[in-house]
Structure 1
């Protein structure tokens, strides 16, 4: 069942990583998990931008800004595609880096690590129900913190390497993940400069 590990990674992450490792799920199972979970931040971004609006400023000068439905939808679709690409790219990096650490793994296991590690960060998309920048940043920070924790917890279990080696490996993955994030942000800025930016109501 899709998302059947969702509760486990919050309740008892180490045990859940062991379950994921034992079950040897298929490539399409891990991919389907990503496809479903990525809907949350993309869908919430659309809803918040088109219906709730974003408050810019403070006090009496605050102004609520909304995007047109077409613009919000196109940005949500682009975000959805970007998130999926980012997770798959991270999985490819994990797979290639595992070779340098003498860890025997498959691309499917690497995709499992990337998919379940990214889940808390994607779940933070629910914070857009209250579209205040400070609140969303707190939600994203909490999701990112737990995602990093899941990575450090899961890598030694999934790759069957000592925890000391897993710590170094995970630190390398975090660095690569930050680089990927910067690349996606830079790509967004470039697309906006070509007239593909948001259109306000």
Structure 2
């Protein structure tokens, strides 16, 4: 894990200054982080759904076949990359209202680092459980929101008052984009890819 990512959890205020400097010096510095971090939920979900499984009834365990799990994880990976890129584009588009002039790459980079807690929460996919997923995602979502509101004024070089309104706008758009993309992914998963389930009796 790189130093800026560690600082996001230990010194978030200083982390955003370092990240902005890195993105200014290397416009696509975020790309390696995005491609690698997006693998965490996809790989963990593949392992969890094929090796551990989940229980819908007391006497059986349900798993996905390797082929179905691979389809799901590939679809999730593409969805994550597309979602971050779209949110980055919206951040860039909204920046004009707040007198900020970031590049598209910088905005996608900001979205990538802001979503870091959500990427790391993907570790919960190793043990598929609805309640575990809800708790972990809520905690990760709360910290990502904190990073957004703390980091946007620093990253965009704007006043805190503007940053508050800008952050709230990004949060709303980000939530809308996330829900829209996830719903489309789920519909594609169930209606087009037709997953194959493996049911194993317990005992």
Match of 1:114 in 2: 111
Match of 1:73 in 2: 70
Pairwise CA distance, 1:196: 1.2
Q: Distance in 1 between matches of 2:111 and 2:117?
A: 11
Match of 2:3 in 1: 4
Listed one character per residue, the Cα deviations across residues 175-200 of structure 1 (whole Å, up to 9, x for unaligned) are 11111112112212431453313210
Match of 1:148 in 2: 145
What are structure 2's unaligned runs of at least 5 residues?
199-203
What are structure 1's unaligned runs of at least 5 residues?
none
Q: Distance in 2 between matches of 1:129 and 1:171?
A: 32
Match of 1:172 in 2: 169
Match of 2:201 in 1: none
Moved more, 112-121 or 185-194: 185-194
Match of 1:136 in 2: 133
Pairwise CA distance, 1:25: 4.3
Q: Distance in 2 between matches of 1:62 and 1:116?
A: 42
Match of 1:101 in 2: 98
Distance 1:182 1:197, change over 3 A: farther
Please tell me whether the aligned partners of residues 26 and 108 of structure 1 are also in contact (alpha carbons under 8 angstroms).
no
Distance 1:62 1:118, change over 3 A: farther
Question: With CA pairs under 8 Å and 6+ residues apart, which has the higher RCO, 1 or 2?
Answer: 2
Q: Distance in 1 between matches of 2:33 and 2:139?
A: 21
Alpha-carbon RMSD:
1.5
Aligned length: 197
Q: Distance in 2 between matches of 1:3 and 1:62?
A: 44
Match of 2:27 in 1: 27
TM-score, normalised with respect to structure 2? 0.91
Displacement over 6 Å in runs of 4+? none
What SS does structure 2 have at the residue aligned with 1:16? helix
TM-score, normalised with respect to structure 1? 0.92
Listed one character per residue, the Cα deviations across residues 144-172 of structure 1 (whole Å, up to 9, x for unaligned) are 11111101111000111111111111111
Q: Distance in 1 between matches of 2:122 and 2:14?
A: 26
Please tell me whether the aligned partners of residues 72 and 189 of structure 2 are also in contact (alpha carbons under 8 angstroms).
no
Mapped pair 1:46 → 2:46 = yes
Listed one character per residue, the Cα deviations across residues 52-102 of structure 1 (whole Å, up to 9, x for unaligned) are 101224xxx253210000000111011001001100111110011001111
Pairwise CA distance, 1:10: 0.4
